[in-house]
């Protein structure tokens, strides 16, 4: 039951109506008997209204603000402080109101690190990152943090070069796919294969090595064509769902200062995404 003391967390984006975050976080508040303490709502905020929205949220004493498309980068200039990780990634997806000051965090990197650490020891591994956009930056941060040797493969070489220089990585054109088999880990951080283009894949089974880790951060559909191809090649696969789950776990911790029940969140996320 909501009271006058209930802290408000929101997600802002445009569009935002499709977001499952309000359901997921509110279910977790109930599960942890925190629903008197916290509530999570969605607010559609246009790009042109971002400054006013952040000032308004601050004036209202909103506890947490999740940022999704198109606000993750633009929001930075309206915050009081950015933590080191978010600064390096160059994007904020989680804002905490600490005694009236808005602090920006990024939790996407944890969505890469946690599932990888569950599967392998990261020390001395090599990784190929496909793509050089916003998500690829969080991917590179997680890999660099674990001292993994990174090569960025991208369609636009200039963007690959920029990302690679920020994370002391190498870079190559996405056309050099024949090189990918030699990496321990390949992470797709492009939207290729995402609904509705579910038959698309950057790699065929022939481009994938047995026992290599193939992590596709696309999560709609749950099992992308790339992951199907990886299974055919007998590679080890990691679903984009895992990234979504673990970034939400870290975000829950930032907003509530409590560790959520991972199995509960996993089950709820499966249901919300209608995964069978
Ligand atoms: P973005 O900033 O727009 O970057 C997209 C990247 O993909 C660019 O480097 C682009 O290359 C490349 N790309 C796009 N279409 C391509 C194609 N047909 N062939 C080869 N390369 C292509 O996007 P983003 O924000 O990084 O998001 C990328 C994907 O990650 C999206 O599908 C998003 O849903 C997913 N994602 C998942 C999670 C999760 O929790 N699982 C979290 C964040 C994002 P150019 O530089 O040449 O344009």
Active site residues: 72
Residue nearest to atom 13 of ligand 1 (CA): 190
pLDDT tens digits for range 97-106: 999 999 999 9
Over the range 221-246, which residues count as b (16 or more CB within 10 Å of their CB) and which as e? Answer: bebbbbbbbbeebebebbbbbbbbbb
Is residue 12 very low, low, confident or very high in pLDDT (cuts 50, 70, 90)? very high
Is residue 131 within 8 Å of 189, Cβ to Cβ? Answer: yes
User: Could you report the per-residue pLDDT of 89-122, keeping only the tens digit for each?
Assistant: 999 999 999 999 999 999 999 999 999 999 999 9
Q: Using 50, 70 and 90 to split pLDDT, how confident is the model at 127?
A: very high
H/E run at residue 183: none
CA of 54 to the centre of ligand 1 (A): 26
Residue 51 confidence class, pLDDT cut points 50, 70, 90: very high
The alpha carbons of the chain give a radius of gyration, in whole angstroms, of: 19
Distance 62 CA to ligand 1 centre (A): 31
Q: Does ligand 1 come within 6 angstroms of the Cβ of 218?
A: yes
Write the burial class of residue 105 (CB in 10 Å: 0-12 exposed, 13-18 middle, 19+ buried).
Answer: buried
Find how far residue 193's CA is from the centre of its chain.
17
- 185 CB contacts (<8 Å, ≥6 apart)? 116, 120, 125, 126, 127, 128, 143, 148, 212, 213, 215
Q: How confident is the model at residue 1 (pLDDT cuts 50, 70, 90)?
A: confident
Task: Please state which architecture CATH assigns to domain 109-238.
Answer: 3-Layer(aba) Sandwich (3.40)
Report whether residue 22 contacts ligand 1, using a CB cutoff of 6 Å.
no
| DSSP symbols for 243-274 | HHHHHHHHHHHHHHSS---HHHHHHHHHHHTT
Nearest CA to ligand 1 atom 18: 192
- Burial of 61 from C-beta contacts in 10 A (0-12 / 13-18 / 19+): exposed
Q: Domain 7-106+243-272: which CATH class?
A: alpha beta
pLDDT above 90 for 240: yes
User: Cβ distance 91 to 73 under 8 Å?
Assistant: yes
* pTM of this structure: 0.95
pLDDT at 237 > cutoff 90: yes
pLDDT of residue 276: 79
**Average pLDDT of the residues of the chain:** 97
Collapsed DSSP state (helix, strand, coil) of residue 111 = helix
Q: Ligand 1 centroid to 132 CA: how many Å?
A: 7
Domains 7-106+243-272 and 109-238 share a fold: yes
Instruction: Please give the structure tokens belonging to residue 28.
Output: 């977790």
* C-beta of residue 100 within 8 angstroms of C-beta of residue 114: no
* The pLDDT of residue 177 is above 90: yes
Our answer on whether the CB atom of 140 is closer than 6 Å to any ligand 1 atom is no
Domain boundaries, the chain: 7-106+243-272, 109-238
pLDDT band at 172; cut points 50, 70, 90: very high
């Amino acid at each position: 039951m909501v009271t006058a003391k209930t802290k408000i967390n929101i997600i802002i984006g445009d569009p935002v109506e499709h977001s499952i975050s309000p359901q997921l976080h509110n279910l977790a508040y109930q599960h942890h008997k925190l629903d008197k303490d916290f509530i999570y709502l969605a607010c559609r905020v246009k790009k042109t209204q971002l400054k006013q929205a952040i000032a308004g949220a601050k004036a209202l004493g909103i506890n947490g603000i999740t940022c999704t498309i198109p606000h993750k980068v633009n929001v930075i200039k309206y915050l009081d402080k950015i933590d080191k990780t978010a600064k390096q990634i160059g994007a904020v997806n989680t804002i905490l109101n600490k005694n009236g000051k808005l602090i920006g965090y990024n939790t996407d990197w944890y969505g890469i690190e946690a599932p990888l650490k569950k599967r392998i020891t990261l020390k001395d591994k090599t990784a190929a990152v496909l793509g050089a956009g916003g998500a690829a930056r969080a991917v590179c941060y997680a890999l660099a943090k674990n001292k993994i040797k990174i090569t960025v493969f991208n369609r636009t070489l200039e963007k690959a070069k920029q990302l690679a220089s920020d994370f002391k990585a190498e870079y190559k054109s996405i056309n050099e796919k024949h090189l990918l088999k030699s990496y321990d880990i390949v992470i797709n951080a492009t939207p290729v294969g995402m609904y509705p283009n579910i038959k698309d894949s950057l790699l065929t089974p022939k481009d994938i090595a047995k026992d290599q880790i193939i992590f596709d951060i696309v999560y709609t559909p749950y099992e992308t064509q790339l992951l199907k191809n990886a299974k055919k090649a007998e590679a080890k696969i990691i679903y984009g769902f895992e990234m979504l789950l673990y970034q939400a776990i870290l975000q829950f911790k930032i907003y509530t200062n409590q560790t959520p029940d991972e199995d509960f969140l996993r089950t709820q996320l499966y249901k919300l995404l209608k995964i069978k």
